[in-house]
Structure 1
Amino acid sequence: MSSLKIERESVTESIKDAVTDHVVNKGGIVGSAAAAVAEAAHGQLPGTSGKHPISAVVGTAITGGRKNAGTKGYLAAYLQQLEDHPLRTKMLTAGTLAGSQELLASWLAKDRNKHGNYFTSRVPKMAAYGALVSAPLGHFLIWLLQKIFSGRTSLRAKIIQILVSNLIIAPIQNTVYLVAMALIAGAKTFHQVKATVRVGFWRVMRVSWITSPICLAFAQKFLPEHTWVPFFNLVSFIIGTYINTVTKKKRLAALRKKHFGDGRDSRDSRAPGGSAVGGGPRPGPVGPEDYPSMGPNPPY
């Protein structure tokens, strides 16, 4: 068994050396990146252990480059906070990303409130959802998932972990997400909330099943466990901003069509009395198209 381990380590070292000797010498951005990863993999990059070379290289780049390697930069300070105060840091991160996502999507879609501002009432509501609901739920579920699979690093265990994430954790997170989105969108009754979950559940699950295995496999391979939740939040922020922007644009287009007809210029939506675009009362009951969607909560 020990000889097999030694042989495996020798193969790993050979691959690392090959990257250093052949890919790096080609120069350019790819060569420089490969050189940094190979150096971090050997533990030769200051302030790194060699256990997570890719995240080490990214962290070094974010915190000032090689000249500041080994010093306490912003990312290093954040990771330290994650270790010392995991739940608090995740709540602040998720709240900031959720609120920022709603604000950014409103700006990209030109979705203003009745006062002409992009900072709508949904921004603080989404921030509260991220901090008080999404982060604690994700923290607990990820802790439970990691505890169940603690010390199990085989390929079979990783595949089972992905399946458990997608078939058990994802439905829980996405159901809570849809309930919260319905309430933020203005649902008043249990029937409206139930209809929201029924209409949106499988659509959100499909997105989750596409993104979750890729992101979880990446985290399993390259990231320390305490960084998983912030990483998943970042992925959700990127995907969710796109979905949120598209959703808002479709809603605004539908409102323009309903109130002004197909042939009217979009500038008419700013005419006096045009309550539909930019935050005025929406026609009809709350429906899936009215959600302040930030994209599916990643089922990780």
Structure 2
Amino acid sequence: MAASTKLSPAATAQLALTSYLGALERRPVATKSATSGLLYLVSEIVSTQLAKPTAGRQYAAAAGGKEAKERLSPLRVLQQSKPALKLAGYGALIAAPLDHVLYSLLARAFAGRTSRRARVGEVVAANALILPVQNAVYLAALSVLGGARSARQVVSAVRSQFLSVMQMTVVVSTLSLVAAQRWLPPMAWTPFFSLVAAAVDTAINVQAKRRELAAAAAGDARVDKDE
């Protein structure tokens, strides 16, 4: 019997990438939706864990042993975190299809144009046309998932955060688009941008959760002082 061939980590990664790109070519929207949903799920779990690292470590030290680790495990957080599942649904059902359409239109508009001017134009078009739509939709979705029920509440939430989010995402988007232009095939753009967006959204979520915790702590302190 011939010995089985053991693939190296690099060969395994290459095989996985080839299989994934094949799935993208056969079922682009479904594959991108699954990718985006998973990334947003992980993003929410990670941001929940990172939002209060000091409290988490203190809790683990106080509780001790296996029970504390289980209560702080990602699986336990997932079981107790409806926002994670909601964000996964947003990523799969809204973000991925929207990104697929937007970046397909962008790639079609600049297809076959490889000059420096065309590349710069593509970056400008992405930042001026695609990024505002993505950010507005994401912030609106977060406000709805966070409890907003009226159009006025959603608009207010988007306005309060839109400029700060745009400032950060313009820089990240420019760098990621330049990288995509140089090294990635067009079919891989959406999952790549989904990965970048998930990393950015994780950072935004961590900051937002820490602000909420700080505000809640300040409110509790005022109540205790009044009493």
Is TM (by shorter chain) over 0.5? Answer: yes
Amino acid of the structure 1 residue aligned with 2:178: A
3-state DSSP of counterpart to 2:103: helix
Residue in 2 aligned with 1:208? 169
- For the residues of structure 1 that align with 2:14 and 2:139, how far apart are their CA atoms? 39
After superposition, give the CA deviation of every residue in 1:205-263 in whole Å (9 maximum; x if it has no partner). 11121111111011001111111111111112222222212221221122112113599
User: Contact 1:64–1:73 (CA<8 Å) still a contact in 2?
Assistant: no
User: Contact 2:48–2:209 (CA<8 Å) still a contact in 1?
Assistant: yes
Name the TM-score, length of structure 1 as normaliser.
0.61
Q: CA RMSD in A?
A: 2.6
- For the residues of structure 2 that align with 1:144 and 1:169, how far apart are their CA atoms? 10
User: Contact 2:41–2:87 (CA<8 Å) still a contact in 1?
Assistant: yes
1:233 matched to 2:178? The reply is no
- Higher normalized helix content (fraction of residues): 2
> What runs of 5+ residues in structure 2 fail to find an aligned partner?
1-6, 57-70
**1:245-264 pair list within 5 angstroms:** 245-260=206-221
1:106 matched to 2:48? The reply is yes
After superposition, give the CA deviation of every residue in 1:42-90 in whole Å (9 maximum; x if it has no partner). xxxxxxxxxxxxxxxxxxxx9722xx37x97222211111111111100
Residue in 1 aligned with 2:36? 94
Amino acid of the structure 2 residue aligned with 1:158: R
Residue in 2 aligned with 1:47? none
**1:25-64 pair list within 5 angstroms:** 64=9
Residue in 2 aligned with 1:135? 96
Name the TM-score, length of structure 2 as normaliser.
0.80
For the structure 1 residues 249 and 72, does the alpha-carbon distance in structure 2 shift closer, same or farther, using more than 3 Å as the test? closer
- For the residues of structure 2 that align with 1:96 and 1:234, how far apart are their CA atoms? 10
- For the residues of structure 2 that align with 1:72 and 1:215, how far apart are their CA atoms? 21
Residue in 2 aligned with 1:9? none
Residue in 1 aligned with 2:139? 178
> What runs of 5+ residues in structure 1 fail to find an aligned partner?
1-61, 265-300
Residue in 1 aligned with 2:85? 124
Instruction: Between 205-214 and 252-261, report the one with greater CA deviation.
Output: 252-261
Instruction: Between 195-204 and 153-162, report the one with greater CA deviation.
Output: 195-204
Residue in 1 aligned with 2:59? none
For the pair shown, the structure with the greater C-alpha radius of gyration is 1
3-state DSSP of counterpart to 1:168: helix
3-state DSSP of counterpart to 2:9: coil
The partner residue of 2:181 within 220, 227, 230 is 220
Residue in 1 aligned with 2:121? 160
User: Contact 1:94–1:135 (CA<8 Å) still a contact in 2?
Assistant: yes
Residue in 2 aligned with 1:145? 106
- For the residues of structure 2 that align with 1:201 and 1:63, how far apart are their CA atoms? 45
For the structure 1 residues 261 and 63, does the alpha-carbon distance in structure 2 shift closer, same or farther, using more than 3 Å as the test? farther
| Percentage of pairs with the same residue | 36
After superposition, give the CA deviation of every residue in 1:264-290 in whole Å (9 maximum; x if it has no partner). 9xxxxxxxxxxxxxxxxxxxxxxxxxx
- For the residues of structure 1 that align with 2:17 and 2:113, how far apart are their CA atoms? 28
The count of residues paired between Structure 1 and Structure 2 equals: 198
For the structure 1 residues 260 and 101, does the alpha-carbon distance in structure 2 shift closer, same or farther, using more than 3 Å as the test? same
User: Contact 1:63–1:75 (CA<8 Å) still a contact in 2?
Assistant: no
Q: Highest relative contact order (Cα 8 Å, sep 6+), 1 or 2?
A: 2
